[in-house]
Amino acid sequence: MPPSAARRGIWFVLAPVLGLALIIVPLFLVGAPNVDAEQARLCRMVLPALYPEDDGIEILSSEPGQRSAVHVAFRTSAGGREHLLTCRFGGIGYSAAKRDLVAILVDGVGLGEAAFYFAKERWLESRHAVLADPGAPGQGRGWITLPRGAAVVLQHAINGLPRTGILALLALATALIYGLIGRINLAFGEFAALGGIAASMGVVIAVLAGITTPLLAATLALIAALALSALYGFAMGRAILWPLATTAAPGRSSASGQPLLVAGVGMLVAIQEGLRLAQGAGTLWLPPASGEAWRIASAPGFDVVAHPRLLAMVAINWLAIGLTLAVMHRTALGRAWRASADDPFAASLCGIDPRRLLITISALSTMLAGLAGATITLNYGGMHFSGGTLIGLTGLIAAILGGIGSLGGAVLGGVVIAGFQVGWSALRDIAQWELATFTLLTLALILKPGGFFGFADGAQRKA
């Protein structure tokens, strides 16, 4: 591969990191004035212990204060006068002390030591506090008004956006490697788990370093996940894929399927066990650090909401997908990939270095998988060491459905599978959606063996 193509490949590895500033920062800053939702909830739950429940408590507003404080404006139906409750906590953001209530003030007057003890240690730790939560302040109606059925459908669609990007990323990573070696790699789910656990560790390290701001900690964790995933992909391409890919014939980058398939299973087991040793058999759950949700639409008895963090991560995922497709269609790296996928020997005669190309694509594909795993962690709070296996297989299904080896088809397959699973979870038992997904793949390949954009004859596909 020419040096200019290599430089473009390295630039693409850095481009998603630079894109964070264009997407995640504005969304987080828009949501930044919102109070921490977890701390606001804990502060509201104190009120029923301070005022009789039959008075009725109306929450007017929740605002962030200085030094880990939360201000909750409220009114009781008995007096009708507006009051201000202030709660101070031991930390903010991802800090482990963010739930540690250290002071309670009502209208600027602090509770006595005994009252504070019973409110914190007795009341907040009981189930009665959860049941008596007055609820979030009313924020008016959403941006639009919808019928209830349409609002429920829209909420399911918003909730499914992260899965759409995750499966599209994994399917795209699978298609990139398949195009060069002609074989599937079963370890991309484990690379997603690697990215997810790296993001968790990145947040922990940031908190230990004194960085508890959600925006900065999440950004550093995401960069760490991308860098570590790309490094693993570089090592995989150089030490495993290239030696095995050249065992068939000199100058070719495809070998018999067995060594590469066995190597994929071996990487799956090795990475999974390494993650178990690094994180432990349990899951490292991050404390919730999101602000109040945006109210998108309103319906009778139902509101459609979306969190800025979810939208930010979805935007980053599709930025990475769009940049990947643009690079593979418009740059020398993409032309080298297509030439080597069509005829690796002829491509090598034209000056394309197959070893450098395979290593670059390997780093790129594992970085995409790592981004998918980091999305899971930052959206949902954690990743189990074996949590990537099933979602990796689902990404493989998406790549096959789109036409294995077709980049655009892989992305479309990810969108279709994610949409199918979201619809299934809305209508049926979510525990059965993986079985339903495999059934969908079977029916689709019976009707169209090559997938959406694959070979018309399914026998031409390498497995």
Q: Among 105-119, 193-207, 432-446, whose mean pLDDT is lowest?
A: 432-446
Residue 67 predicted with pLDDT over 80: no
Burial class of residue 409, CB neighbours in 10 A (0-12, 13-18, 19+): buried
DSSP state letter for 288: P
Instruction: Report pLDDT digits (tens) over 383-417.
Output: 988 888 889 999 998 998 888 878 988 999 999 99
Side chain identity at residue 334, one-letter code? G
Instruction: Report pLDDT digits (tens) over 199-227.
Output: 999 998 988 888 877 888 888 899 999 99
CB count in 10 Å sphere of residue 433:
19
DSSP state letter for 266: H
CA torsion through residues 377, 379, 380, 386, sign = negative
* 326 contacts 417 by C-beta, under 8 angstroms: no
Residues in the chain: 463
Span(s) in the chain for CATH 3.10.450? 37-131
pTM: 0.83
Between residues 449 and 256, which one has the greater pLDDT? 449
Q: How far apart are the first and last CA of the chain?
A: 27
Residue 4 predicted with pLDDT over 70: no
Span(s) in the chain for CATH 1.10.3470? 3-30+149-460
Mean pLDDT of 113-134: 85
In what helix (H) or strand (E) does residue 105 lie, and over which residues does it extend?
A: strand 101-106
Topology classification of domain 3-30+149-460: ABC transporter involved in vitamin B12 uptake, BtuC (1.10.3470)
Instruction: Report pLDDT digits (tens) over 292-349.
Output: 777 888 888 788 888 888 888 888 899 899 999 999 988 899 999 989 888 888 888 8
Phi, psi of 349 (to 5 degrees): -70, -25
Mean pLDDT of 354-360: 92
- The CATH code for residues 37-131 is 3.10.450
Between residues 106 and 12, which one has the greater pLDDT? 106
